[in-house]
Every structure is written in C-alpha cells, then in structure tokens.
Structure 1
Amino acid sequence: MLNIGDYVQHQMTGQIGHVIGYGHQILQGVYLTTLKVRASNNQGIDNQSKFIEDVYSEWVLADPTESKMALQA
C-alpha cells in the first residue's frame, strides 16, 4: 500500500513525486482509487509545483536512489 509521504513513480511516464493525498474516479460505473502526487523533478515557472492524479494501479514505490536524484533536479 502506498501512503501519504511515500515517493512513487508513475509506470507509464516515469514521473517521480511524493504522495500528498488520495482521490477517486468513477469509470464505467467502477469506483477507482487515485493518488495525488506532487512531482519532484518538475518545478515550473516561479517555483510552481506540478501535481499529478492518476489511478492507484499506475503508481509504484520509487527506488530510493531515483527519488534522491529527482529531489536534486
């Protein structure tokens, strides 16, 4: 189970970030849990952060070395 504060990696995009919350999506009548993630390696203009929300199954726990690299970027 992925928890708030965990560093995760999106399986399709490779984006790394930390979990800031949970959400939900209803797709074809099926309730799906989502993760809300603050991207670690994507600082926007004026230090704006990028937030990503996708279904729980698209995220995996990030390798600690990859998480550290993302934080330095």
Structure 2
Amino acid sequence: MFNIGDYVFNQKTGNLGKVIGYGHQIVDNAYMSTVKVLVDYAISSRKRGIVEEDLFAVWISWEEAQKVRSK
C-alpha cells in the first residue's frame, strides 16, 4: 500500500505521479481498492496535473521502477 505523497509509476501507461488519495471500483461485482494519483509526467500527452485513478496492482513505487529500469 502506498502512502499519500509517495511517488508511483503506472506500469500500463508509463505515467509518473504523486499519491493524493484512495478510492474503490467495482470489478466483477467486487469492490477493489484504487489509488488516486496526481500525474507529474504523462508519456502519452505530456500533460501535468491530471488526476488518474486505477487499481493498486497497476502502480509500483517510483523507487521500484528505477530498480527495474536499471537492470
């Protein structure tokens, strides 16, 4: 689980941002926890300030993303 203020990386979109909150989505009739991220860098649009919400499993910590990149 991420803390508010942590920087995270979206493995699907490549977006980088800061955790600003949490939420829920219904997936297959079950509530799934989500993370709300204020995007600092969006690969596809290069826009900042977009709030993106997605399942926790899609995001990894920025530190972890850096380790994976360096291999």
1:28 Cα deviation after fit? 1.4
Higher strand share: 1
Q: What is the Cα-based RMSD across aligned positions, in Å?
A: 1.6
1:34 Cα deviation after fit? 0.4
Q: Give the 4+ runs in structure 1 shifted more than 4 A.
A: none
Match of 1:19 in 2: 19
Are residues 1:29 and 2:14 paired? no
Q: In the TM superposition, what are the counterparts of 1:33-48 in structure 2 within 5 Å?
A: 33-41=33-41, 42-43=47-48
Alignment-mate amino acid for residue 57 of structure 2: S
Question: TM-score scaled by structure 2?
Answer: 0.76
Report % sequence identity.
43
In the alignment, structure 1 segments of 5+ residues that lack a partner are 44-48, 67-73
1:38 Cα deviation after fit? 0.3
CA distance in 1, matches of 2:63, 2:14: 11
Alignment-mate amino acid for residue 36 of structure 1: K
In the alignment, structure 2 segments of 5+ residues that lack a partner are 42-46, 67-71
Match of 1:60 in 2: 60
CA distance in 1, matches of 2:56, 2:39: 15
